[in-house]
């Protein structure tokens, strides 16, 4: 009885050890053998221990025998199930092997092309605007699949159709957006198909693998106004970049007026300061000449009443202050002296403006030479492989030239305006002073003639 029980237990253990054979298809034969031996030794040890306990208890022995028989029956049923499952898996494996062989022969290139296209399309769409707030999902990757199944093709087609529908949608959503200062905050975002996205009049861009949103460095003013009106529902037009962001990127890289000014360096600062100084001098002098023009016209309207608020009044006052009995040459010399005393005030600042207009282009040329020296130094050290290393020197060379010309042109116009205005005033003064001198000489001559006639008449009477 004991030998029979031991044999049954050993058989049951052996049957139970066969149970994982279906799952052990993926294991090596050596590992399966070691596992089987370990389980058998453990089962024998348990049987011997239990047999030692039941050797004196026949009823318990019979009960253990019944349990062993039931376990054996269960193990046989489990074995049959596993064998049936194994047969099914072998049939499926043969079917898959046939599909792989078939696709490898005829459909292999098709599968490779579909897998490659799906991966590239997923990478391209990963950073596109179509995935922002989209209802459709990205196409699946087929690179790691060994067999192309119909379901995979259907999923790929559904994803592509969903992405195609997203290209015709304009949606509004709220998303975290990083500003120019790097701080992220929730903002209202409008996405127009796969073309662009904007928030509060600022164009957005996607950064990193996660596609985080941030505002573009520079959004043109006219574009910002259209986008703000469109997002607020007050406009129906938006500005698009047909080059997929290249134009906007180029516009963002364009420096502002202040940045252009800073590119000129120290020479650029000097040119601009001198230009501003010259324009201020010219403006002050031109305002003075305008005031002189007004007072001079008022004086010309009333020559009987000489005023000291205009150069003509001061010249005529000094001339009338001369007593009688002066020779004509002396009167003319005194009049010229009075005119020369007023002329510097009328021509004040013209020489300085003219000098600055001549110096500004020379300073621009100096900045050009300095910038080219910096450029050639960069070429000597780093070579010509990276154009950005030479951009600074070239920018300084060109910007200083532009600043010099921009400064010289208005200064030349200012100098011409000052010269024309002052010459006009001096001409009016000279003309009026000559007329007064002529009147004085004619009056003196008439008086002298009258005196001579009176004297002759007196001599005749005597």
| Residue percentage of the chain with pLDDT more than 70 | 67
What integer pLDDT is reported at residue 411 of this predicted model?
A: 94
Residues composing the chain: 462
pLDDT average, residue stretch 153-164: 75
Q: What is the pLDDT of residues 37-52, one digit of tens each?
A: 788 788 778 777 776 6
Average pLDDT, the chain: 75
pLDDT average, residue stretch 58-78: 79
What integer pLDDT is reported at residue 9 of this predicted model?
A: 40
pLDDT average, residue stretch 68-73: 84
Q: What is the pLDDT of residues 302-354, one digit of tens each?
A: 877 878 888 888 887 777 777 666 667 777 777 778 888 888 888 888 999 99
What integer pLDDT is reported at residue 400 of this predicted model?
A: 85
Q: What is the pLDDT of residues 266-302, one digit of tens each?
A: 888 899 899 999 999 999 999 999 998 888 888 888 8
pLDDT average, residue stretch 440-459: 70
Q: What is the pLDDT of residues 230-242, one digit of tens each?
A: 888 887 787 777 6
Checking if the pLDDT of 406 tops 80, the result is: yes
| Residue percentage of the chain with pLDDT more than 90 | 9
What integer pLDDT is reported at residue 284 of this predicted model?
A: 93
Rounded to two decimals, the pTM is 0.51
Q: What is the pLDDT of residues 117-155, one digit of tens each?
A: 677 777 767 667 777 776 666 666 665 555 556 676 677
pLDDT average, residue stretch 19-24: 38
């Amino acid at each position: 009885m004991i030998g029979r029980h031991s044999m049954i237990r050993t058989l049951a253990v052996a049957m139970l050890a066969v149970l994982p054979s279906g799952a052990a298809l993926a294991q090596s034969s050596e590992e399966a053998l070691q596992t089987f031996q370990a389980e058998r030794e453990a089962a024998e040890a348990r049987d011997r221990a239990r047999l030692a306990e039941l050797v004196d208890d026949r009823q318990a022995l019979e009960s253990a025998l019944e349990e062993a028989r039931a376990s054996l029956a269960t193990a046989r049923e489990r074995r049959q199930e596993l064998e049936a499952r194994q047969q099914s898996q072998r049939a499926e494996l043969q079917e898959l092997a046939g599909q792989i062989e078939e696709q490898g022969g005829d459909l292999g290139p098709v599968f490779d092309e579909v897998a490659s296209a799906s991966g590239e399309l997923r990478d391209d769409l990963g950073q596109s605007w179509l995935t922002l707030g989209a209802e459709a999902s990205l196409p699946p990757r087929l690179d790691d699949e060994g067999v192309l199944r119909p379901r995979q093709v259907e999923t790929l087609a559904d994803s592509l159709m969903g992405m195609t529908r997203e290209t015709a949608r304009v949606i509004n959503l709220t998303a975290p957006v990083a500003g120019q200062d790097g701080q992220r905050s929730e903002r209202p975002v409008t996405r127009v198909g796969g073309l662009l996205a904007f928030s509060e009049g600022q164009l957005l861009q996607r950064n990193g693998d996660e596609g985080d949103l941030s505002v573009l460095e520079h959004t043109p003013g006219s574009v910002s106004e259209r986008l703000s009106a469109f997002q607020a529902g007050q406009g129906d037009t938006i500005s698009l970049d047909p080059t997929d962001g290249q134009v906007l990127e180029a516009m963002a890289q364009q420096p502002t007026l202040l940045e252009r000014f800073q590119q000129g360096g120290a020479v650029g600062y000097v040119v601009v300061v001198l230009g501003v100084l010259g324009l201020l001098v010219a403006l002050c002098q031109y305002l003075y000449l305008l005031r002189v023009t007004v007072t001079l016209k008022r004086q010309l309207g009333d020559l009987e009443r000489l005023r000291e608020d205009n150069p003509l009044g001061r010249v005529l006052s000094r001339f009338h202050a001369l007593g009688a009995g002066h020779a004509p040459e002396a009167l003319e010399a005194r009049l010229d002296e009075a005119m020369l005393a007023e002329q510097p005030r009328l021509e004040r600042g013209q020489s300085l403006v003219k000098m600055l207009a001549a110096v500004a282009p020379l300073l621009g040329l100096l900045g050009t030479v300095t910038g080219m020296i910096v450029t050639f130094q960069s070429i000597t050290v780093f070579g010509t492989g990276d154009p950005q290393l030479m951009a600074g020197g070239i920018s300084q060379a060109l910007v200083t030239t532009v600043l010099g010309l921009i400064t010289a042109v208005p200064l030349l116009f200012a100098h011409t305006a000052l010269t024309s205005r002052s010459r006009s005033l001096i001409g009016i003064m000279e003309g009026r002073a000559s007329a007064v001198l002529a009147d004085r000489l004619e009056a003196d001559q008439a008086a002298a003639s009258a005196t001579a006639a009176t004297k002759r008449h007196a001599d005749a009477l005597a």
